[in-house]
Structure 1
Amino acid sequence: MNVNPSCPHHQDAREFETHAHGQTAALGRAMGRRMDHGLVLLLFGDLGSGKTAFAQGIARGLDVPSSFTVTSPTYTLVNEYPGRLPFYHVDLYRLPTPVDPDEIGLLDLLDEDGVVAIEWAQRLHPADRPARRLELFFTVTGETARSIRIIAYGLDPSDLINDIGVCSLR
């Protein structure tokens, strides 16, 4: 995995390159381990770009027991998992754009004290995105390679993204 610490488009951004599903999950796990309070993660990217692998890693980093299989909630919209912090995995793929977050109960989740990872976040209207969040942009760059750009809004990203090194992601 490669880390690009300088991201010219946004001062609170970081780019990572992963070369396997396991590395994408390891990035999520490393971030999940550092989370000590609720946070919203908006995941953007095409089908197969690594969003679910990353969410699976977040779950393991939050100490969701391995007896729970973390899958994308495409048909249920939200899966909730117990862990050090509650983990809510949301998938907006099947919903029309823009999604009304109040209509599907998403606003209630955003007020919870857990970690909320929202796949297909582009279906949310920008005005409905919480001020305090991480936005993650997943891009397929090869058969198993992915580029993941993480931008922090309304929080100090240093405890989550600036100190994640290559060694912690193996």
Structure 2
Amino acid sequence: METEFVTYSPEQTIEEGRKLAGQLQPGMVVCLEGDLGAGKTHFVKGMAAGLKIDPSQVQSPTYTLINEYEGRLPLYHFDCYRMESPQEALEIGAEEYFYGEGVCVIEWPGRIRPLIPREALWISITVLDRERRKFVIGKKSL
């Protein structure tokens, strides 16, 4: 079953991420799809806040590939935008994170699709205009 909603500001996008964090359990993988500037990192800031992590610490890990944060649960924030193949994710130990005790959030998951666990939650973010974003949350068949 899919859930859809629209946010009307970056602050509301952060709040929706915070709400989702209340449902997160160890070992969950959340995949975020959306164009550059769609609000993926704002959503992760909200998830961090909901996990008792200072959201001001959350930045896109575009150049580091993964950022780790400690809170109610560990949060592992991946950015696969620069990855050329799933092999690169394997080399940084992605699968150990996916099946660990924390929550993994993956931006640009399509680049490592073969590695994504079947039970991952997929969130698609579409830019509607300067402020509005449409979110579709559900499972995907891989």
Match for residue 63 of structure 1?
A: 52
Q: CA RMSD in A?
A: 1.6
1:152: Cα distance to partner? Answer: 3.0
Match for residue 82 of structure 1?
A: 70
Pair member with larger Rg: 1
Unaligned runs of 5+ in 2: none
| SS of alignment partner, residue 90 of structure 2 | coil
1:44-59 matched pairs, under 5 angstroms: 44-59=33-48
CA contact (8 A) 1:138 1:147 kept: yes
Please give the per-residue CA displacement for 1:82-125, whole angstroms capped at 9, x wherever unaligned. Answer: 100000011011111x3223123111111111110000111113
1:40 aligned residue (29, 48, 53):
29
Pick closer, same or farther for the CA change 1:108–1:36 going to 2, 3 Å.
closer
Pick closer, same or farther for the CA change 1:122–1:153 going to 2, 3 Å.
closer
CA contact (8 A) 1:38 1:85 kept: no
Higher relative CO (Cα under 8 Å, sequence separation at least 6) belongs to 2
The CA distance in 2 between the partners of 1:36 and 1:131, in whole Å, is 16
Letter in 1 for 2:112: L
Report how many residues are paired: 140
1:129 aligns with 2:116: yes
| SS of alignment partner, residue 34 of structure 1 | coil
| SS of alignment partner, residue 43 of structure 2 | helix
Unaligned runs of 5+ in 1: 1-11, 155-170
CA contact (8 A) 2:79 2:106 kept: yes
CA contact (8 A) 2:27 2:101 kept: yes
1:148 aligned residue (119, 129, 135):
135
Match for residue 96 of structure 2?
A: 108
| SS of alignment partner, residue 93 of structure 1 | coil
Letter in 1 for 2:37: G
1:153: Cα distance to partner? Answer: 5.6
2:126 aligned residue (118, 127, 139):
139
Please give the per-residue CA displacement for 1:6-39, whole angstroms capped at 9, x wherever unaligned. Answer: xxxxxx2111100100111111000112324331
Q: TM-score if structure 2 supplies the norm length?
A: 0.91
Match for residue 83 of structure 2?
A: 95
Kindly, what percent of the aligned residue pairs are identical?
40
- Identify the structure with the greater helix proportion: 2
